Amino acid sequence: MSTLPFPHRTKPSSTAVNFVAPAVVVKVGKPATTFFVNGDLLCSTSDYFKTALKQEWREGKRRVVELPDDDADSFNTYLNWLHSKTVVLGYDDGDFYELIDVYALGDKLLDSDFKDAVTDAMIVSFNDNKGGNVLPGSYNRTRLYDKTAESSTARRLIVHRLARTNNVSLIEGGDCHAFLMDVAIEAISKGPEKTNDAAARCAFHEHAPGAENCYRNKYA
């Protein structure tokens, strides 16, 4: 039997997006930026859009969803995720600041695969191109706590990393009380595992146990 000179790239038809599906108009921010998105694609991994676009809801009948409190750059990143299953930031030098907004949008849209990919992108943002670490400062740590829930994986990630810095000067005066408490508790109870190793076993992901449930494998 001969071997094909290219990798096998087909997938079952059940995974296909129906591009005949009508577009949904999504208005993001104030003033609003308007996006026209395939309805099937929009609902493919977001429970928020699945619910909002049910026919019995006004948004479902009009095929218009408004997200006035979110920003267009973050939504554009989300649409890139839907198309390519890759976190593409709005700027080439995108950093933790932008990732916070993107994570918060994933939280609102109830898309756990996207949030899992964003926490992975946060870990990448910790590493500079010289092998060193670039950890978020107190301004971004406070922003993260303002925009995320108590049990969020993004909070767990930054607390895990900061509790292992062995550098008290990283805890700056501008940090919020909740963050300082979380770091103090983690510092007392922490084990020897490094943040990158914890991330490799999906410690900062929301999916159900099992590698087959991880976006890294589902969309590979």
Which residues sit at the interface with Zn ion, rule CB under 5 A?
202, 205, 214
Q: How far is the CB of 196 from Zn ion (least distance, A)?
A: 14
Is 42 or 202 the residue whose CB approaches Zn ion more closely? 202
What is the Cα–Cα distance from 70 to 115, expressed in whole angstroms?
16
Shortest spacing between CB 41 and Zn ion, in angstroms:
22
Question: In whole angstroms, how close is the CB of 43 to Zn ion at the nearest point?
Answer: 22
Q: How far apart are CA 157 and CA 121, in angstroms?
A: 11
Q: How many whole angstroms separate alpha carbon 130 and alpha carbon 101?
A: 26
Are residues 171 and 177 in contact, defined by beta-carbon separation less than 8 angstroms? Answer: no
Q: Which is nearer to Zn ion, 56 or 212 (CB)?
A: 212
Smallest gap from Cβ 220 to Zn ion, in A, equals: 12
Name which of 41 and 214 has its Cβ closer to Zn ion: 214
What's the CA angle centered on 69, arms 115 and 149, to 5 degrees? 40
Judged by beta carbon, residue 161 or residue 205, the one nearer Zn ion is: 205
Q: Could you give the angle at which helices 138-147 and 177-189 cross, rounded to 10 degrees? A: 100
> In whole angstroms, how close is the CB of 212 to Zn ion at the nearest point?
10
CB 123 within 8 A of CB 196: yes
Our CB check for Zn ion shows the closer of 159 and 202 to be 202
Q: How far apart are CA 145 and CA 175, in angstroms?
A: 10
